[in-house]
Amino acid sequence: MPTQHAHSAHARGSDGAGGADSSRTELPSSTGHDGHAAHAATNPATRATHAQLAAVTVLTVLALVGSCVFAASRANLSLSAHDVGGLVMPPGMIMGRETTGESMRDMAAVDLRRIAYAAPADARGDQPLQPRLEGGVKVFTLDAEPIRWNILPNVRVAAYAFNRQVPGPRLRVTEGDRVRIVVNNRLPEATSVHWHGLILPNAMDGASEITQEPIPPGGSYTYEFAAQQAGTFFYHSHHHVARQQTLGLYGALIVDPRDTLRIPAHDKELVVQLQEWTHKEGYTFPAMPMEGALPNFFTINGKAFPETETVRMRVGEKLLVRFVGSQGSFIHPMHIHGGPFTIVEADGYPVPPGGQLVKDTVNVGPGERWDVVWEAREPGKWLVHCHINHHTTNDNTEQHGGGGLMLVIEVG
């Protein structure tokens, strides 16, 4: 074992025991670390043959081709940088071979670089917008733009908003009014607005690329019609709806009847507009029922509990609740504690007295509206909430007894 002997001798030499001469005498020039390398280089048994090199080359090429074929079978490699430049996709979303650039743009996060305005943390949506009168016509102006919006004090989403609020302002007119609504588009993409449930001229329906050209960024469009029906309605984007409405482009439209006797007896009124949000890693994505885009926050009138409003009443008073299905993905079974309610209107149409069901839970699907009257029977704090338990959490956690689609009626 000359190598081991030389190593020991070298070690002794390094200890200063006079072993340096011995190591120089006993260590062959072809041994040690350098010696082994030289020996291996000249040993025919350790050299690769031409056949071996060719085999490794072929296997490497096959592995490279196989990985390219596998990637092409799983992803769309035809997309260019122009198609996907700057997109941030939801974490966990499955991007298959059929995923197009257009679908990626619809599912992508709001571009934070395009946001110039941040609403105050305590700002509220659904604020009444007073019209101006022009020749007997009630005129409203809606400006669509991207904003930052707090759904909780510590959770700020990137939203698309009308008039810098989520939901957009509440429009209220009377049956028979002539209405003109000017929509200005300050979004980074085209849009349009649909007046959900209303009977109006086809050209005013707001269905993008069907009844009108989309409103381009920087453009505007004027809608004008007569409010022929009384009831609870709402307005929302109708261009890339799965993206824009979900990000906040919606608002309540209330048409009061000319005959006030048609208004159900009540002391107070509450409009409940439902919405779902997907907010992850600092980005806001359109909430969709698919992998990676499932919502983790839920709001009533733009706020999640415990930031939702509190309704204060007295025993014996009646509350008219207008449930609006402004969400895009789920049916929400909305339940009120403290006793049942009476359904008085469905989708803007009065329910005849003989058909007015008494219930304590009503399923509010996307696009539906249910008007119910609830009586305060006992003092205390009574909840209004969705009965899908996950929808009363904030990012899967409870705060002060709940979260998400929940608010309190406080009866004194």
Domain borders along the chain are 2-46, 50-108, 117-411
pLDDT for residue 343 is more than 70:
yes
CA dist 185 and 192 (Å) reads: 9
The enclosing H or E element of 155 equals strand 155-162
- More confident: 73 or 380: 380
- pLDDT of 80 reads 64
Please, are residues 345 and 351 in contact by the beta-carbon 8 Å criterion? yes
pLDDT for residue 355 is more than 70:
yes
Q: Hey, what CATH topology would domain 117-411 get?
A: Immunoglobulin-like (2.60.40)
Please, are residues 183 and 220 in contact by the beta-carbon 8 Å criterion? yes
Q: pTM score > 0.75 for this model?
A: yes
The secondary structure of residue 380, as a DSSP letter, is E
Tokens matching residue 243:
């993206």
Of the pLDDT bands very low, low, confident and very high (cuts 50, 70, 90), residue 71 is: low
Mean model confidence pLDDT for the chain: 89
- More confident: 122 or 106: 122
- pLDDT of 140 reads 98
- DSSP result, 244-285: HTTTT-EEEEEEE-SSGGGSPP-SEEEEEEEEEEEEETTEEE
Cβ-count burial 60-76 (b if 16+ within 10 Å, e if not):
eeeeeeeeeeeeeeeeb
- pLDDT of 214 reads 98
Give 313-322 pLDDT, tens digit per residue. 999 999 999 9
- pLDDT of 78 reads 62
pLDDT for residue 133 is more than 90:
yes
- pLDDT of 43 reads 63
Lowest mean pLDDT among 50-64, 133-147, 374-388: 50-64
CA distances in angstroms from 124 to 168, 237, 276, listed in the order given: 10, 20, 17
CA distances in angstroms from 164 to 79, 127, 145, listed in the order given: 35, 11, 7
- pLDDT of 391 reads 98
Q: Name the nearest CA neighbour of 238 among 212, 259, 217.
A: 212
- pLDDT of 13 reads 40
pLDDT for residue 376 is more than 60:
yes
Give 159-209 pLDDT, tens digit per residue. 999 999 999 999 999 999 999 999 999 999 999 999 999 999 999 999 999
CA dist 380 and 199 (Å) reads: 42
